[in-house]
Amino acid sequence: MSLVDLNIKQIHSGLKKKDFSAFEICQEYLGRIKSKDKEISSFITVDEEAALNKAKQADELIAKNSDIPFLFGVPCAIKDNMMVEGLKCSAGSKMLENYYSFYDATAVKKIKNENAIILGKTNLDEFAMGSSTENSFFGPTKNPVDLDRVSGGSSGGSAAAVSAKLSAFTLGSDTGGSIRLPASFCGAVGLKPTYGSVSRYGLIAFASSLDQIGPIARTVDDVKIVFDSIKGKDSLDSTSLDYKEDSFDFSVSELKIGVPKEYFVKGIDPEVEKAIKNAIKKYENMGAKIEEISLPHIKHSLACYYIICCSEASANMARYDGIRYGYSENQKSKNLLETYLYSRENGLGEEVKRRIMIGTYSLSSGYYDDYYLKAQKIRTLIVNDFKKAFEKVDLIFGPVSPFLPFRIGEKIEDPLSMYLVDMYTVSVNLAGLPALSLPCNDPGKLPIGLQIIGKPFEEGKILKAASFY
Ligand code: GLN
């Protein structure tokens, strides 16, 4: 057994017992990244020297005091749309190819405070817009389980790095499924927390009313450890909230699980349907009560999501103007307008430009009522659907994606079929709920994620329920 096989809990107890040093684990991970990541491409930046130095310092600290927090000395990686001081933060875009962060995102600061070791930054769809990581300026991240297939997106690099054991855990961001989908495709555990439970300070904004940072790791316990470290109110993000920890102590037979009848419709891959139904059956056999529920407006969630996320993105992307920072064509332009036009034309990719156009259109006078305003009303209906459902059940179970991890190139030319990949994930963001992707397919097969959705701030209940599996 190698050190990269250990989960966070095992690393923690091994470090305490001095079975190995933080330096040794760090070295082992860096060696593995060198040999394996050529074919997977999960990292954009590897920060070898700083990681080894930090690991050395961690060993000095633990020699003096072995009372260490859980993430102490644990090697991890951060999606390249979150600020890590001194490191490049590209957002997977040519626009920010040479942009260096001068501060830490709050979530990053929190894990640094525990002395986690940051190995580097992971690949993503440009500005987190996509479901396959094929929209990255740096090329796609391949699925470690089958290199011909996508890793999912947009946090594909973060999920692939965990799955290939190139990092003990990673941070991702989820606006419409970007933690859960790649976790599902790569066979990792990924948590999209309640909106407001983790500070978004230092996360490059895509759609601010939907974005959340969350953990991807190998086990449910590890995800909990990372979530506990990064959650909580932050004065630098006014949408973050105090997290009151409820203790969730229950047995599986006390669980009431809702399964929306709208989830198993035509178009879902039969292998996905079978795996999800088997997983639900397993809970039933363990004693949980399974109840069919209805989310009547869920069928509108994709349309609603793509209007809202594009509208917000069109506003958030306005700052990349070729003047303030990032890629600029001001040398070649004759005037300011040309600088704006050429910098954006050549600095941003196809999908990002498509979203800016959809969003600008939806927000423009004359169309605002028909698109943006209507989407907001539908958003409220979806929120209410979930509220009603949670009056009857504790948790909602279903698939993360209707598809198995698809082949690289299979959907990239057809944006609509790519958007369909998100049909089960986006409603959770629209309603601000927490949800987990839990691997549930047989080992040796392509990974499939079971999605467990909970009430706001009931991550603890989701994780406890997942631990029974
Ligand atoms: N796939 C979705 C999109 O392209 C979600 C992306 C995300 O969660 N960042 O918008």
Q: How far apart, in whole angstroms, are the C-alpha atoms of residue 446 and residue 111?
A: 32
What is the overall mean pLDDT for the chain? 97
Q: What are phi and psi of 356, to 5 degrees?
A: -60, -40
Residue 449 is predicted with a pLDDT of 98
pLDDT in tens, 369-410: 999 999 999 999 999 999 999 999 999 999 999 999 999 999
Identify whether 379 is part of a domain: no
Mean pLDDT of the region 86-94: 98
Domains of the chain: total: 1
Q: Is the CB of 214 under 6 A from ligand 1?
A: no
User: From atom 4 of ligand 1, which residue's Cα is the shortest distance away?
Assistant: 130
Identify whether 311 is part of a domain: yes
pLDDT in tens, 410-443: 999 999 999 999 999 999 999 999 999 999 999 8
Burial of residue 384 (CB within 10 Å: 0-12, 13-18, 19+) is middle
Q: Is the CB of 174 under 6 A from ligand 1?
A: yes
User: How many CB atoms are located within 10 Å of the residue 361 CB?
Assistant: 17
Q: Which atom of ligand 1 is nearest to the CA of 425?
A: 5
Pocket test for ligand 1, best of 82, 158, 175 (most atoms within 8 A of CB): 175
Residue 120 is predicted with a pLDDT of 98
Q: Which atom of ligand 1 is nearest to the CA of 173?
A: 9
Evaluate if residue 266 carries a pLDDT over 90: no
Name the band, by pLDDT with cuts 50, 70 and 90, for residue 247: confident
Identify whether 332 is part of a domain: yes
Cis ω before 154 (30° cut-off from 0)? yes
Q: Is the CB of 134 under 6 A from ligand 1?
A: no
Name the band, by pLDDT with cuts 50, 70 and 90, for residue 20: very high
Query: What is the four-CA torsion angle of 282, 285, 287, 288, rounded to 10 degrees?
Result: 40
Amino acid at 324: R
For the chain, give the longest Cα–Cα distance. Answer: 71
**Percent of the chain at pLDDT exceeding 90:** 96
Residue 1 is predicted with a pLDDT of 82
Q: Is the CB of 120 under 6 A from ligand 1?
A: no
Residue 245 is predicted with a pLDDT of 75
Residue 64 is predicted with a pLDDT of 95
Q: Is the CB of 210 under 6 A from ligand 1?
A: no
Residue 54 is predicted with a pLDDT of 98
Mean pLDDT of the region 24-28: 98
Residue 295 has which token pair? Answer: 């989310």
Identify whether 260 is part of a domain: no
Mean pLDDT of the region 148-167: 98
Residue 287 is predicted with a pLDDT of 98
Identify whether 318 is part of a domain: yes
CB 217 within 8 A of CB 453: no
Identify whether 350 is part of a domain: yes
Q: Is the CB of 466 under 6 A from ligand 1?
A: no
Is 224 assigned a catalytic role?
Answer: no
Distance 214 CA to ligand 1 centre (A): 14
Mean pLDDT of the region 230-239: 98
Helix (H) or strand (E) holding 36: helix 22-40
Distance 128 CA to ligand 1 centre (A): 6
Residue 258 has which token pair? Answer: 């809702």
Collapsed DSSP state (helix, strand, coil) of residue 339: helix
3-state helix/strand/coil string of 196-240: CCECCCCECCCCCCCCEEEEEECCHHHHHHHHHHHECCECCECCC
Identify whether 425 is part of a domain: no
* Catalytic residue of the set 79, 224, 455, 464: 79
pTM: 0.98
pLDDT in tens, 161-189: 999 999 999 999 999 999 999 999 999 99
Q: Is the CB of 439 under 6 A from ligand 1?
A: no
Identify whether 245 is part of a domain: no
Residue 464 has which token pair? Answer: 């406890």
Which structural domain, as residue segments, surrounds residue 310? 302-370
Is 79 assigned a catalytic role?
Answer: yes
Distance 49 CA to ligand 1 centre (A): 33
Pocket test for ligand 1, best of 82, 122, 154, 358 (most atoms within 8 A of CB): 154
Q: What are phi and psi of 280, to 5 degrees?
A: -65, -40
